Amino acid sequence: MHKSIAVCPGSFDPITVGHVDIIKRAAKMFDRVIVVVMVNPKKTYSFTPEERVSLVRAATADLENIEVDYSDGLLAEYAREKGASVIIKGLRAMSDFEYEFQMALANKKLNSEVETVFLTTAAENMYLSSSMVKQIASMGGDVGDFVPEQIRQDITKRLYGKDEK
């Protein structure tokens, strides 16, 4: 039987409850969801690839049809290699839209077999971003509402006392 495979790409620097919500919803829609930690060349990361993967693994450990992977290549190629027909992205506000729209078109050009599907964020996560989490944690604030409980301490330990750019 044909299984639907979706990839859910992102920087996940670090993963937040907003990401987990999108991943959970994707897991209900597709047989297999591959959460892939990737590289956005425009970003400088606070967490290493290994750390980002390990935080995503810990945050999604209780979900069944989820796999976690890392790739430093092109998303369109990655989707092709995995036989994925869908790329899942979460959209918060209109400000996300222009960039995401551009990426969706570029990915379609590079891999005509793949469709980008946008899920709207849950209203309570509208404001949430990894950079906000990093800023709060690095200044000693409580990120308990913003990241999954399993990884809260790891993030705080790792970032507290470090300056955020």
Tell me, rounded to whole angstroms, the distance of Cα 77 from its chain centroid: 18
Touching ligand PNS, residues 1-30 (CB under 6 A): 9-11
Name the catalytic one among 24, 57, 80, 92. Answer: 92
Q: In which element (H, E) is residue 9 found?
A: strand 5-10
Q: Is 32 annotated as catalytic?
A: no
Touching ligand PNS, residues 86-105 (CB under 6 A): 103
Q: What gap in Å lies between CA 57 and CA 67, rounded to an integer?
A: 8
Out of 8, 38, 84, 151, the only residue in the binding site for ligand PNS (CB under 6 A) is 38
Q: What gap in Å lies between CA 44 and CA 92, rounded to an integer?
A: 21
* SS3 call for 120: strand
What Å distances lie between residue 43 and 10, 11, 65, CA to CA? Answer: 11, 9, 29
The residues, any chain, with a CB within 8 Å of residue 108's CB and separated by 6 or more, are 114, 115, 116
CB of 135 to ligand PNS, least distance (A): 16
Which phi-psi region, left, alpha or beta, contains residue 4 (left: φ > 0; alpha: ψ -120 to 50)? beta
CB of 157 to ligand PNS, least distance (A): 23
CB of 130 to ligand PNS, least distance (A): 7
For residues 44 to 83, the per-residue mask of contacts with ligand PNS, x marking binding by CB under 6 A and - elsewhere, is ------------------------------xx--------
Name the catalytic one among 11, 46, 85, 130. Answer: 130
Out of 29, 93, 106, 126, the only residue in the binding site for ligand PNS (CB under 6 A) is 106
Q: Which residues bind ligand PNS (CB under 6 A)?
A: 9-11, 38-40, 43, 74-75, 103, 106-107
